[in-house]
Structure 1
Amino acid sequence: MLSLNNKKAVITGGGSGIGKAIAQLFAKQGAEVHIIELTEVAAEAAVNEIRTTGGKVQAHACNVANHQQVLAVFEQIGNLHILVNNAGIAHVGKADTTSEEDFDRVVNVNIKGVYNCLFAAIPKMKAAGGGAILNMASIAALVGIPDRFVYSTAKGAVKAMTMSVAKDYLSDNIRCNSVSPARVHTPFVDGFLQKNYSDQIPEMFDKLSKTQPIGRMGLPSEVATLALYLCSDEAGFITGCDYPIDGGFTTLNN
C-alpha cells in the first residue's frame, strides 16, 4: 500500500519543515526524489538523511519565482510523476500595512512560483502518462486569519489554481489536489518565536498551540502522510479537492 516505486517526485522547498518530511517519506516509499531549494546547501541535511537510509534523492538550486530557472531545472529532471508545490514564504500585515515590496515578494514566490512549476511540470507529466500534483494551501485560504493579508491572498490563489488544474487535465490522467494545514511545528515557528517573543517563548508556544481545538500544533510528518496518500495510486479517484489538516481549526473554533 502507498508504494511510490518507479515514481519520480519533485518537491519544492523540500529542505526543511513540511517539505523535508514529505521528501523523506516519499523516498522511504520508493520514489526518486528531487528537492528544489534556493541553494543546494539548504537541501543538504535532507539529502544526507535520505541517502543514509538508502533513498534516492537529488537537490537542485532554483528560485521558484524565476521562470527561466524553473524551466531549466525541470528540463534536467525530465519526465516525472509527482509534483509537490510546497515552497512558500509568510508575511505578517494587514492590507494597509503591507508594503508593495512585501506584497510582490510573497506573490512572486507563493503564486508565481506555483505557476512556474506547474507550467514546467505538466508537459513532463503528460509525457510520463499522467501523474499527481499536490499544492500546499493553508487554512488562511479558508477562514479569516488576522494580520495575514497577502499570505491569505496567495494561499487563496493556490487553492483556486488547484481546482483549475484538476479540471483542465482530467483527460491527461493528471490529478491535482491541495492540503490546507493550520499551524505546524516547523523551524519557521521556532524562528518566529525567537525573533518576536524571545523572552516568552514557552508561553507563546503554548498559546499558539492552543489556537487549534485539538490543543497542539501539527507535525510535519502528519502532513507528509496525507501528502503520500494523495500522491499515491490508492488516491486515484481523488482530484480537485482541498484537505484541511488543522486540528479542527476551520470547523471547531466556535
Structure 2
Amino acid sequence: MSGLLLENKNAVIYGGGGAIGGAVARVFAREGARVFIAGRTQAKLDAVARDITAAGGKVETAVVDAFDPEAVERHADAVAATAGHIDVALNAVSVMHDQGTPLADLSLEEFMRPIDGFLRTLFITSKAVARHMGGDRPGVILNLSEPGAKLAVEGILGHGVSAAGKEAFSRVLAAELAPSNIRVLTIRPHAVVDAVAAGSYTKDVFAPSAKAAGQSIEELLDDAMQHGTLLKRLPTLADVAETAAFLASDRAGAMTGTVVNLTGGALVD
C-alpha cells in the first residue's frame, strides 16, 4: 500500500500561483497527485510548476479567469478530457477587500466587493468541477475561509459577511453533492504568518490596519494576532497545505460539510 495520500488523484487548484494555492499545489504533487494549476498570471504559475517539476511531480498550468464561467468550464472540461476525471478541486482565488473601515465610512461597493467576488468564484468553480467528480471515484471540493466568519469586531463588515457566506455555501453544497459521492470542506486559517513573504495579497489587506496601529505588518501579525490564539502562534503555509492534502485524501473520507479550524485556537467552534 502506497504511503502517498493522493496517489493517482487529479487535482485542480484555482489561484494556483498564489501563496496558499502554490503551497498546496506543491504538497499535492509531493503526495502523488497530478496537479492542474490555474490562475491569472502565467509567470506565477510557472514558478510553482518549476518547483513541482524539479521535485519530480506532475503539473500542468493554464491561465484562467476564475470569475469567467465559460473559461472555467472550458478548463475543467479540458482537464477531465486529458486526465479522465477530476478528483480534487481547491479554490484559493484572492479578492482584494477592505479591512478596518467602519460602516459610516464604508461604501456599498467596498462592502459588496468580497461578498460578490468570493462567492461568485466559489459558485463558478464548484459548478464546473462537480460535473466531472464523484460516482465510483470520490470527489472533494475544498474552499478557504477566514476567522471573520466568526469574529464580532469592528471594521470587517464586508470581509466578515463574505467569510460567513463561504462557509454557508460549502455546508449547503455538501448536502447537495453528498449523494454524488462528493465531499465539500472549508479550511479556515487565521492570518498565515509566512504568506506575506511569499507574495500574498494580504500584505495590501493588512497594510491599513498596521499603519493605523503604527506597526509594521510583521509586528501586527506578531503582536495583535498570534497572541490571541491558544497556541500563541499563527498557521503557516505548510500547515494549510498539509491539512488540505489530508482532507483531500481518502483518509478523511468521513468528513464533509464542516469547517476545519486552523486559527491556532483563536476561534473554537
Does TM, scored on the shorter chain, surpass 0.5? yes
Deviation, 1:209, is 3.0
- Checking the alignment, whether the CA contact within 8 Å between 1:95 and 1:150 is kept in structure 2 is no
1:209 aligns with 2:226: yes
1:17 is aligned to 2:25? no
What TM-score do the two structures reach when normalised by structure 1?
0.89
* C-alpha distance in structure 2 between counterparts of 1:81 and 1:141, whole Å: 27
Residues 193 and 205 in structure 1, CA contact (< 8 A), matched pair in contact too? no
**Partner residue, 2:38:** 36
Alignment correspondent of 1:242: 259
Question: How many residue pairs end up in the alignment?
Answer: 252
Q: TM-score, normalised by structure 2?
A: 0.85
Give the secondary-structure state (helix, strand or coil) at the position aligned to 1:210. helix
1: CA distance between counterparts of 2:206 and 2:122? 28
Range with greater deviation from structure 2 (199-208 or 243-252): 199-208
Residues 125-204 of structure 1: pairs in structure 2 closer than 5 A: 125-126=133-134, 129-185=137-193, 186-187=195-196, 188=200, 189-191=202-204, 197=211, 200-201=215-216, 202-204=218-220
| 2: CA distance, partners of 1:161 / 1:233 | 23
**Which residue identity does 1:238 align to in structure 2?**
M
Unaligned runs of 5+ in 2: none
Equivalent residue, structure 2, for 1:80: 86
Structure 1, unaligned stretches of length 5 or more? none
Measure the CA separation in 1 of the matches of 2:153 and 2:48. Answer: 31
Supply the AA of the counterpart residue of 1:206: D
**SS, match of residue 140 in structure 2:** strand
Alignment of 1:99 with 2:116, yes or no, is no
Q: Which amino acid aligns with 1:73?
A: H
Q: Is the 8 A contact 2:111 2:157 kept in 1?
A: no
Residue 179 of structure 1: SS of its match in structure 2?
strand
Change in 2 beyond 3 A, CA 1:194/1:99? closer
RMSD: 2.3
CA gap 1:101/1:169 in 2 versus in 1, 3 angstroms: same
Tell me the distance in 2 between the aligned counterparts of 1:128 and 1:48: 33
**What corresponds to 2:238 in structure 1?**
221
- Give the deviation of 1:155 after TM superposition: 1.4
Q: Do the aligned partners of residues 190 and 151 (structure 1) sit closer, same or farther apart at CA in structure 2, a change above 3 Å counting?
A: closer
